[in-house]
Amino acid sequence: EPEVTQTPSHQVTQMGQEVILRCVPISNHLYFYWYRQILGQKVEFLVSFYNNEISEKSEIFDDQFSVERPDGSNFTLKIRSTKLEDSAMYFCASSNPGTGSYEQYFGPGTRLTVT
Amino acid sequence: AQTVTQSQPEMSVQEAETVTLSCTYDTSENNYYLFWYKQPPSRQMILVIRQEAYKQQNATENRFSVNFQKAAKSFSLKISDSQLGDTAMYFCAFMKHAGANNLFFGTGTRLTVIP
């Protein structure tokens, strides 16, 4: 069964450094998402992406964040200058509503630790 | 704005018994989707079941079923014949019915199945 993959599984970085989190969505999916989950809290929406542009973003997704689909398979989240409060689990998800199914399929997540 | 409320932070159930997890939501939308996601200790987000708001029939997936009460804006999850592998965080989530829309998650219920 196709699945969303994410790399790395765990990233440790120093405050102020740039990080890039990578995702490979399911191949026939057209909509891509990033969510984050601070430890012990609920999952929060960051951004959605369709047709090579951002569809929607939350107030969390400020100028420090950017997303890109650099090729036909990868979908990346960049945090320009990490802060301690960016420490969280970051989930990528994808969907293809055109098939009649609105489920979003999640990757296993990247645990980001900012020290 | 959409909000999702899970009023039970923790629950436990004996193996083989039945348990019901509660979820309520607030929206002005008429068409939407509701989901239950399971997050085991690995922190992977796994879709358990979904419900389209326009369908009156409650969704079922093997041991999992929902009680969807649209007028009351309630969407509870029933797990029958609980198994040790059901131990996890369970998140209720809401999505507007159209295009690339983000999921709004509740704060989760931690379910422990006791042998």
Contact between residue A6 and residue A111 where contact means Cβ atoms under 8 Å apart: no
CB–CB of A33 and B102 under 8 A? yes
Q: Using CA coordinates, name the residue in chain A closest to B46.
A: A106
- pLDDT surpassing 80 at residue B59: yes
Q: Is the pLDDT of residue B98 over 80?
A: no
d(CA A37, CA B21): 21
Q: Judge: B99–A50 Cβ closer than 8 Å, yes or no.
A: yes
Q: Which residue has the higher pLDDT, A15 or A30?
A: A15
By CA distance, what is A49's nearest residue in B?
A: B100
Q: Out of A39-43, A53-57, B9-13, B30-34, give the one with best mean pLDDT.
A: B9-13
Q: What is the mean pLDDT of residues B71-86?
A: 97
Q: Which of B25, B16, B26 is nearest to B84 (CA)?
A: B16
Q: Which residues of A touch B53 (CB under 8 A)?
A: none
pLDDT at B2: 77
Write down the pLDDT at residue B63.
97
In the prediction, which pLDDT does A54 show?
94
What pLDDT, on a 0 to 100 scale, did the predictor assign at position A70? 86
Q: Contacts of residue A91 in chain B, CB cutoff 8 Å? A: 45
Nearest-CA residue of chain A relative to B99? A97
Q: What is the mean pLDDT of residues B61-76?
A: 96
Q: Tell me what pLDDT residue A97 has.
A: 77
**B9 in contact with chain A, both atoms CB, cutoff 8 A:** no
Torsion of CA B6, B11, B15, B21, to 10 degrees: -20
**What percent of chain B has pLDDT above 70?**
97
Closest by CA to A112, choosing from A36, A53, A50, A41, is A36
Which residues of chain B make contact with A95, given a CB cutoff of 8 A? Answer: 100
B45: nearest CB among A44, A102, A106: A106
